[in-house]
Chain A
Amino acid sequence: MIVRLSLTALLASSASFASADIEKWLRPAEAPQPLNNKLTPERVELGKLLFFDPRLSSGGEFSCATCHDPKRGWTDLTPVSKAMGAGRGPRNTPTILNAGYQNRQFWDGRVKTLEEQALGPIEADVEMNMPLAELIPKLNEIHGYVKLFNAAYPGEGGLTQETLAKAIASFERTVVSTISPFDKYAMGDDNAIGVKAKKGFELFKDKAHCMDCHDKFNFSDGSFHNIGLSDGELRGKELGRYLTKKRAAWYGAFKTPTLRDVTKSAPYFHDGSVKTLTEATAICAGGGRYLNNVQNKSTYIVDRNLSESEIGEIVSFLKTLEGPDMKLDIPTKFPQ
């Protein structure tokens, strides 16, 4: 099923897109779900409470939403995340918008599912720093949570690491993009975006080759690339997917991020080193920050010879991918 809302009637009248193309740009109504964790209202509501509950961190100050803030594009709008204590995390906080549609999670794609992803940041010492061996007994002392887990996951052993991961993943699966001006344009409303943005979309598809990676409704094909942000020998977290296994093709490669609501999630790239969409576009379509001495630079990243005004047109198009914030009642009271 595809999200069409009240714009379905416009499909047939679209002058800009063939019907197959229109389908390509529309978000499927629900993210794929594992057979053992189908979405239910109880699971989503429980996951939401956990996502916003700071008691899941060691100091009781950080929740998942501290870094994945719905009011900040599900990010924290900083280059790299503030960590427990005075430190900083190693990478820019990726948005969780539409993460349920991705087949690899984290910048380096080290896990496939949201269930596998959900517990990592809770335990990470640079994030919530809460060992699960401490957290699970602690949460089991909160009767309100025990009751909710039993209702959401009957017959699954109550509040365990597995059901905790499932509940958080269920909520994350509902964090999705809304209808943007571009979607309305794709469905036939020719006035939904301006002339400059339309030119930008054409450049995005053709001359600039952005769509080679930023493809389909989520404007990401889930692929991994070294886009030349660093040169020479890479170290530590700069190695990207190569850290998960030393494949030559993964040296310095990071996942192609979604461009949905990209206006809400600056700064950009895995290191948060770029403040504006203009600069980010110029780097990607200009052959990378470093043209030379970049081992394993993606063959997509070459200088497309764009003028400043063409980059401006692409940025105008990217702005049309911003939709209204999804409806969400952020919890202020938590189970006791």
Chain B
Amino acid sequence: MSDFFKTLLFSLALAASASAANYVVDQKGKTFLPGDLSVSVGDTITFKNSDPFAHNAYTDNESNEFDVGMQATGRETVMTVKSAESFNIECAIHPNMLIKVMVE
């Protein structure tokens, strides 16, 4: 690969990385806070657990498949939005917890 293309690829990767946003979703009071999200492909979502008990966060969306497993108090897990399909995030333990993630 020529130096020109290496430089171009590095610049594109840097640009994508610089424009990606991180959203923080806290699990508190058996609720995903702050609520529904609008994100873009490449963005990341950090799931926190501020409750005094374990939570979970997962989606069944195949192109954004994600499951944190048992998420203990204080633990953080990051997912990257890989596909332009919108999806729901639910807690496997507390099915009343649900947010919609709109991918723009």
Q: Which residues of A line the B interface, CB within 8 A?
A: 103-104, 109, 212, 221-225, 241, 247-250, 253, 296, 298-300
Q: Given the known A-B contacts A247-B67, A299-B72, are A224 and B54 also in contact in the complex, defined by CB atoms under 8 Å?
A: no
Q: Given the known A-B contacts A212-B53, A221-B30, are A296 and B93 also in contact in the complex, defined by CB atoms under 8 Å?
A: no
Q: List 8 A-B contacts (CB under 8 A).
A: A103-B96, A212-B53, A222-B94, A223-B94, A224-B93, A249-B58, A249-B92, A253-B93
B35 touches A (CB below 8 Å): no
Minimum CB–CB distance from B69 to chain A (whole Å) comes to: 4
Please measure, in the bound complex, the distance between the C-alpha atom of A283 and the C-alpha atom of B72, giving whole angstroms. Answer: 22
Q: Given the known A-B contacts A247-B67, A248-B69, A248-B70, are A298 and B92 also in contact in the complex, defined by CB atoms under 8 Å?
A: no
Other-chain contact of B92, A212, A221, A247 (Cβ < 8 Å) = A247
Please measure, in the bound complex, the distance between the C-alpha atom of A222 and the C-alpha atom of B97, giving whole angstroms. Answer: 10
B56 touches A (CB below 8 Å): yes
In the complex, the answer to whether A249 meets B96 with C-beta atoms within 8 Å is no
Given contacts A221-B96, A241-B92, A248-B67, 12 further A-B contacts (CB under 8 A): A104-B95, A221-B30, A222-B95, A224-B93, A247-B67, A247-B92, A249-B58, A298-B53, A298-B93, A299-B54, A299-B70, A299-B73
Please count the residue pairs between chain A and chain B whose beta carbons lie under 8 angstroms apart in the complex.
Answer: 47
In the complex, the answer to whether A249 meets B56 with C-beta atoms within 8 Å is yes
Nearest neighbor of A302 in chain B, beta-carbon distance: B53
Minimum CB–CB distance from B30 to chain A (whole Å) comes to: 7
Minimum CB–CB distance from B94 to chain A (whole Å) comes to: 5
Nearest neighbor of B67 in chain A, beta-carbon distance: A247
Q: Which residues of B line the A interface, CB within 8 A?
A: 30, 53-54, 56, 58, 67, 69-70, 72-73, 92-96
Nearest neighbor of A245 in chain B, beta-carbon distance: B60
In the complex, the answer to whether B54 meets A298 with C-beta atoms within 8 Å is yes
Please measure, in the bound complex, the distance between the C-alpha atom of A223 and the C-alpha atom of B90, giving whole angstroms. Answer: 12
Taking CB atoms, residues of chain A closer than 8 Å to B96 are: 103, 221-223
In the complex, the answer to whether B53 meets A300 with C-beta atoms within 8 Å is yes
Please measure, in the bound complex, the distance between the C-alpha atom of A248 and the C-alpha atom of B53, giving whole angstroms. Answer: 16
Please measure, in the bound complex, the distance between the C-alpha atom of A248 and the C-alpha atom of B93, giving whole angstroms. Answer: 10
Please measure, in the bound complex, the distance between the C-alpha atom of A212 and the C-alpha atom of B72, giving whole angstroms. Answer: 15
Please measure, in the bound complex, the distance between the C-alpha atom of A294 and the C-alpha atom of B34, giving whole angstroms. Answer: 34
Q: Given the known A-B contacts A247-B58, A299-B72, are A224 and B95 also in contact in the complex, defined by CB atoms under 8 Å?
A: yes
Taking CB atoms, residues of chain A closer than 8 Å to B67 are: 247-249
In the complex, the answer to whether B70 meets A223 with C-beta atoms within 8 Å is no
Taking CB atoms, residues of chain A closer than 8 Å to B93 are: 223-225, 249, 253, 298
Please measure, in the bound complex, the distance between the C-alpha atom of A300 and the C-alpha atom of B95, giving whole angstroms. Answer: 16
Minimum CB–CB distance from B38 to chain A (whole Å) comes to: 25
Taking CB atoms, residues of chain B closer than 8 Å to A247 are: 56, 58, 67, 69, 92
Taking CB atoms, residues of chain A closer than 8 Å to B72 are: 299
Minimum CB–CB distance from A107 to chain B (whole Å) comes to: 14
Nearest neighbor of A112 in chain B, beta-carbon distance: B95
In the complex, the answer to whether A249 meets B53 with C-beta atoms within 8 Å is no
Please measure, in the bound complex, the distance between the C-alpha atom of A223 and the C-alpha atom of B96, giving whole angstroms. Answer: 8
Taking CB atoms, residues of chain B closer than 8 Å to A296 are: 70
Nearest neighbor of A248 in chain B, beta-carbon distance: B69
Nearest neighbor of B72 in chain A, beta-carbon distance: A299
Please measure, in the bound complex, the distance between the C-alpha atom of A110 and the C-alpha atom of B84, giving whole angstroms. Answer: 28
In the complex, the answer to whether B54 meets A109 with C-beta atoms within 8 Å is no
Please measure, in the bound complex, the distance between the C-alpha atom of A249 and the C-alpha atom of B30, giving whole angstroms. Answer: 16
In the complex, the answer to whether A109 meets B56 with C-beta atoms within 8 Å is no
